Amino acid sequence: MKKVLLTLTLGLVLLTASAQIQQLAGPRVGMTFISSGSTADFLHKGFSYVDEEKQPLGETGDAFTTQYGWQWESRFADGGGDVVGIVEWVALVAGMEQGKFLPSLTSVIGARTSSGLEFGVGPSLSLSGVGMVFAIGKNFKSGSLNLPVNLVFMPGKEVQSSWYNEVDQSYTEYSYNSGARISLMVGFNLNK
């Protein structure tokens, strides 16, 4: 019985010692800038962004959209020091201000310091495909309120493909960029 109590006490001490680096799971809202490309075309024109005249993709210019969602996180390499390894999962929906439902799911692996600075990288899955995100952020505290702010960058993808023209029964080669994305995300949670 003494060994069990000693083990539980030691476990609680270790958990308390590593609590200096905050858990920042919670709601997220933000704004995303999308550079000229097929994703911006979709936001401007919907599914009709490739019309009968076969105008080049990226013709509508840059776009902005809002993001709304939730972040979950898990820790690893948490030795109670000034840096902890984290894995974050972020589920977001964009385009609602334009009547669109554009879901995305992102997983980021990185590190967070005791001062609230964090950085990470990972894959993002959305309707435009799979891409890689790079993120950096800082947690601002006010009493027991945490306000994490993150800047996220996702490079555009160059796509090479062909289109079959049924009229003259030929293939037309084309290339386009999906458009790079830069997001500013803000969240909040309370310490318990």
For residue 14, pLDDT beyond 50: no
Integer Cα distance of 179 and 43 in angstroms:
12
Using alpha carbons only, what angle is made at residue 79 by residues 73 and 82, rounded to the nearest 5 degrees?
Answer: 80
CB atoms near residue 103 (< 10 Å): 13
Whether residue 43 contacts residue 95, with contact meaning beta carbons closer than 8 Å, is answered with yes
Which residue has tokens 């680096």? 21
Most confident of 1-10, 22-31, 103-112: 103-112
Number of H helices, E strands in the chain: 2, 11
Tell me the two tokens of residue 134: 């790079």
The predicted-structure confidence for 146-182, as pLDDT tens digits, reads as follows 999 999 999 988 877 776 777 788 887 777 788 899 9
pLDDT tens-place string over residues 45-69: 776 665 545 566 667 788 899 999 9
Query: Which tens digit of pLDDT belongs to each residue from 83-135?
Result: 999 999 999 999 999 888 999 999 999 999 989 999 999 999 998 889 999 99
By DSSP bridging, strand 189-190 and strand 145-154 are: antiparallel
Tell me what pLDDT residue 173 has: 76
Cα–Cα dist 155/177, whole Å: 10
Q: Note the pLDDT of residue 153.
A: 97
Q: Domain segments of the chain: what residues?
A: 2-190
> Where is 14: in which H helix or E strand?
helix 2-17
Q: Report which of 181, 131, 182, 135 is spatially closest to residue 159, judged by C-alpha positions.
A: 131
Residues 132/153, Cβ–Cβ less than 8 Å: no
The predicted model scores a pTM of 0.75
Q: Which fold has domain 2-190?
A: Porin (2.40.160)
Please say if the pLDDT value at position 27 is more than 60.
Answer: yes
